[in-house]
Amino acid sequence: MKFLQAAGADFLGMGPTLPLSNSAAEVLHKLDDLRRRTQSTAEDARKLEQDQEAFALQYHECTKVNAHIQQLVSQGTAQDQQATYIKRKEMLELDLNRRVAALMELRLKLTEKYKQIYQVLHQLQSQIIDDELIRWKRDQQLAGNGVPFTSNLDQIQDWCESLAEIIWHSRQQIKEVERLKQKLALDPPGVVDVLPSLLTEITQLLSSLVTSTFIIEKQPPQVMKTNTRFTATVRLLVGGKLNVHMTPPQVKVTIISESQANLLLKNDKLIKGGDSSGEILNNTGTMEYQQTTRQLSVSFRNMQLKKIKRAEKKGTESVMDEKFSLFFQSQFSVGGGELMFQVWTLSLPVVVIVHGNQEPHAWATITWDNAFSEPGRCPFQVPDKVPWGKVKETLSQKFKWATGRGLTEDNLRFLAEKAFRGNYSESSNCMLSWAQFCKEPLSDRNFTFWEWFFAIMKLTREHLRGPWVDGAIMGFVKKKQAEEMLSTCQAGTFLLRFSDSELGGITIAWVSDTQEVFSLQPFTSKDFSVRSLADRIADLGHLVTLYPDTAKEIYFQKYYTPFQEQRPSTNGYIKPVLVTQVLGLAGTNYNTPPHAFMSPDPTRDTPSVDSSYAGSVATTATAPQLGMDYLDQLDDNSYAALGLNNDFDLMMNYGK
């Protein structure tokens, strides 16, 4: 048995092409050309075998005639009788020389055809694997940031299967021609037999194709929480054509660190069980072949990361900066055990967390990696600085994927000012550093740019999606700019903007009867879990017109909770209704006692007015005021020591 070990598929990737694209048409044309070439060489090989058999018969006949002549000479037979056989021998030898020349010419012709086929195969395989499949992988990675992903993996599989079939047939033909040559040694002088080296090269081509098409069809989650179930699917694109499923391969999954991934790529040494960086439950599976889809794959549906081994941290590094990867490995035979392949592939980078509070920074690491990693990098290197143009594209894609609508140029200009701490110039190609993105706190804040952005995105996704998609929320606008915009508007005009001082907060700024501009204390996710934004806007009668001049009902009425008349229940109780009111302000939709405006909170940049719930008792849970920078430094054991388990959500009071 010949044993082949080859590197696994590149874990970075790049994506979809249209079915009728120029590249697809080119691939199909080349595959058709290769099929015609291999059919031609198959016919030539059959002719070579037939001609060689005919030569062997002729040679045997010539040998018999020559032996008969020798017998006649030894017996002293008459010269005229000998002459007849000598003439026959000369004719046979002349024909044999002609046949030898034809055989050598056909062999050389076949060898040249196989060399050309190999060159075309090598070029086409590079196009399919290094261009099309890598592009698919790259698009799969970008899909992790919300970029639309239309998979053409089935089309790529068709190409790979056709390629595997042609390579296998060509390999079998070369082996057969080599066998025929060994049966009849007719090597012309000065001509080197290249078939053995050609056989080695085409076998290596097959090896490369097999190992490169062992891919992760469905990636595991890139932010992975310990003791939480997750899934992944791996697939061998050439499994059906090579009959790999006849002996179903086993696939094993382990988690490895960034340094282990680097060693793996450098040395191509498969990871042993003790070399992993953690323990995964349900980490083995058997690949199955589906006749209807012609897919050989295995889906891991119940994996769970039980524990993780982390590396030593340096300087400002946190556990959420550390990247891991899932390592999938298998081995299988082709050609009835003639060839044995060891295959492996790496997942996209994974950040492991033990608590929900680690999620924002973990997603910063993954978002930066997905967006800005370079093809062919060493795991898992990323640039420290990238042009703002690329960052803003990533932020908009991420926001659209999460909320249903992307960011406008005005939104992105606002984000640039915030990310660069007011030092942004559109005329220059500003470079944003990783530290500015998610390490260094914003000016006069105890949270980073990414933490602020992520909290806004989460709030919008969970509570504000409808109004945001409708365009009812301006969102990304400074307090001063909002006041200037509203200052010339009629009383009752309002707009919605995201809070600068509070993570995941949105405030309502409006024009009062005295043409003053006020801002409500920001609402957060906790507020909207009690009463929605639309219902709160309905509660506040002094909010009349959404900036610049649209009645609020146009945008928000469809989101109002339908009013139902309250009747006593069977136990005699009536359920209370929670409504939003601004104390002491006329125009509230419910009768409330008059109170004076509350003094603005000097620690906030937005609220001038506090809001409360009518008919309800407000209860507030407090928690340790731990900054995110501090939480980033906590390891898994530290969370346990603080009593923060996976079921407890630590409430953060940023800027309070």
Radius of gyration for the alpha carbons in the chain, expressed in angstroms and rounded: 37
pLDDT at 637: 54
Measured N-to-C along each axis, helices 388-403 and 359-372 cross at an angle, to the nearest 10 degrees, of 120
Q: Name, in order, each residue with C-beta under 8 angstroms of 98's C-beta and a sequence gap of 6 or more.
A: none
pLDDT at 89: 78
pLDDT at 272: 61
Give the length of the chain: 656
* C-alpha span between 534 and 541 (Å, rounded): 12
Dihedral of the alpha carbons of 28, 34, 35, 38, in degrees to the nearest 10: -170
* C-alpha span between 68 and 66 (Å, rounded): 5
Consecutive H or E run containing 115: helix 79-126
First vs last C-alpha separation in the chain: 71
Domains within the chain, CATH numbers bracketed: 9-212 (1.20.1050.20), 214-354 (2.60.40.630), 383-471 (1.10.238.10), 477-619 (3.30.505.10)
Amino acid found at 434:
W
Structure tokens given for 547? 């900036």
What global pTM score does this model have? Answer: 0.82
* C-alpha span between 248 and 239 (Å, rounded): 10
pLDDT at 143: 96
Give the closest residue to 191 by CA, choosing from 135, 107, 289.
107
* C-alpha span between 160 and 209 (Å, rounded): 8
Q: Where are the alpha helices (DSSP H) in 460-605?
A: 465-470, 479-487, 525-528, 533-539, 552-556
- High-pLDDT (> 90) share of the chain, %: 61
Q: What share of the chain is helix, strand, coil (3-state, %, to 5)?
A: 45, 20, 35
Measured N-to-C along each axis, helices 195-212 and 79-126 cross at an angle, to the nearest 10 degrees, of 30
Give the closest residue to 219 by CA, choosing from 141, 306, 305, 133.
141
pLDDT in tens, 354-402: 998 999 999 999 999 999 999 889 999 999 999 999 999 999 999 999 9
* C-alpha span between 66 and 89 (Å, rounded): 7
* C-alpha span between 223 and 355 (Å, rounded): 11
Positions of the chain with pLDDT under 50: 1-19, 590-608, 613-633, 639-656
* Strand ordering across the sheet containing 324-334: 2-5, 339-346, 324-334, 250-257, 284-286
* C-alpha span between 38 and 160 (Å, rounded): 17
